[in-house]
Amino acid sequence: MYFFVVNSVSGNGRGKEVWSYVEKKLNKMNVPYQAEFTQRAGHATRIVKSAVRQPDIKAIVAIGGDGTVNEVGSGLIGTNIPMGYIPAGTGNDFALANRIPFDPYLALDRVLEHNVQRIDTADLGDRKMIGFMGIGFDGKVAEMVNRSSKKKWLGRLTYVLEGLKLLRSFQPDQFTLTIDGKSYEYDGAWLVAVTNIPNLGGGMKICPSAIVDDGQLDVCCVQNLTQGELLRVIPSVYKGKHTNHPSIKFHRGKEITIHSRSPLPIHVDGEVVLQPPLSIKVNPRSLSII
């Protein structure tokens, strides 16, 4: 039995549309399934925690964006039930990183192929990170994207549009990072991103060397750039070609703490949830995906 958790409001309604395609195909193929719709933030994790008690669950499949992947994955960490994913959000970075098709029928085919892989996740106190988190500029962009009414039509471009809007007014800040016991100071920093997967923000390969199952977290800090310089660098980030830029620093580690001088917004898998200081610890191969 496949259990679907559907966030019908993801991608400003794309979730509902995607479910209608998936439901039709499941019925046509006579695949046994159950489905439940999320009613509010946090609900997907509760649905999953109750569903995993059923004896015959083959996989729990998230339909939504990266926020839904976070909530469904959070409920499955530590179990042997794998998470499937059919993208229906705005950024869909988890799908991009794991080569999950954007076509709902093809994504469903991949679910039904049932090839299980273990991936790393990370703990941020009580909260889990499945793919990525960011603090500073991209935390603020995530906040603006989540409020945007244009995301259904613009999709991933919403991140670019909101980023451009923010560029003029954002004040870079001072960050202290501690990575596996070693400290680093960054002044005039635009953002710090910590990731399990290479991309965030709708396909920006911020940490191009990140590997989903290497037991490590990748860190990127962007500092000391003028607004114009940042604007020129952004296109190269989509290709992961920014790694030799003198103002962009990379680290890798298992345990990371981040302090910022001001209380900047933090997003975890695209949802703004926390305030610094922040401790992040990798949880190696803690989640099965298909």
Q: Which residues contact 23 (CB under 8 A, 6 or more apart)?
A: 35
Among 75, 82, 89, 198, binds ligand ATP (CB under 6 A): 89
Looking at the Cβ atoms of 139 and 270, the one nearer to ligand ATP is: 270
**Residue 46: C-alpha distances to residues 39, 181, 289 (Å):** 11, 35, 19
Q: What is the DSSP letter of 198?
A: S
3-class SS at 146?
A: helix
- Binding flag, residue 199, ligand ATP (CB under 6 A): no
Looking at the Cβ atoms of 204 and 225, the one nearer to ligand ATP is: 204
- Binding flag, residue 66, ligand ATP (CB under 6 A): yes
- Binding flag, residue 265, ligand ATP (CB under 6 A): no
Looking at the Cβ atoms of 9 and 206, the one nearer to ligand ATP is: 9
- Binding flag, residue 7, ligand ATP (CB under 6 A): yes
On whether the CB atoms of residues 189 and 174 are closer than 8 A, the answer is yes
- Is the peptide bond between 277 and the residue preceding it cis, with omega within 30 degrees of 0? yes
Which residue, among 80, 90, 40, 89, has the nearest Cα to 60 in the 3D structure? Answer: 80
Looking at the Cβ atoms of 85 and 186, the one nearer to ligand ATP is: 85
Secondary element (H or E) of residue 66 = helix 66-76
Q: What is the CA radius of gyration of the chain?
A: 18
Among 18, 270, 287, 290, binds ligand ATP (CB under 6 A): 270
- Binding flag, residue 196, ligand ATP (CB under 6 A): no
User: Which residues of the chain form beta strands (DSSP E)?
Assistant: 2-6, 33-37, 59-64, 83-87, 117-124, 127-129, 132-136, 173-179, 182-195, 217-223, 248-253, 255-260, 266-268, 271-274, 278-289
Give the shortest CB-154-to-ligand ATP separation in angstroms: 11
Token couple for 183: 């400290």
Q: How many residues does the chain have?
A: 290
- Number of residues engaging ligand ATP in binding (CB under 6 A): 23
Looking at the Cβ atoms of 120 and 271, the one nearer to ligand ATP is: 271
Binding segment toward ligand ATP, per CB under 6 A, in 8-16, 175-183, 209-217, 237-245: 8-16
Give the shortest CB-161-to-ligand ATP separation in angstroms: 13
- Binding flag, residue 90, ligand ATP (CB under 6 A): yes
- Binding flag, residue 223, ligand ATP (CB under 6 A): no
Q: For ligand ATP, which residue has the nearest CB? A: 65
Looking at the Cβ atoms of 59 and 72, the one nearer to ligand ATP is: 72
In the region spanning residues 139 to 168, those forming contacts with ligand ATP, defined by CB under 6 A, are 146
Give the shortest CB-41-to-ligand ATP separation in angstroms: 3
d(CA 245, CA 282): 27
d(CA 97, CA 208): 10
Token couple for 162: 């909101």
Among 1, 29, 41, 164, binds ligand ATP (CB under 6 A): 41
- What is the sign, positive or negative, of the torsion defined by CA atoms of 235, 239, 241, 245? positive
Neighbours of 106 (CB within 10 A): 11
In the region spanning residues 227 to 256, those forming contacts with ligand ATP, defined by CB under 6 A, are none
Residues in contact with ligand ATP by CB under 6 A are 7, 9-11, 38-43, 64-68, 71, 89-92, 146, 270-271
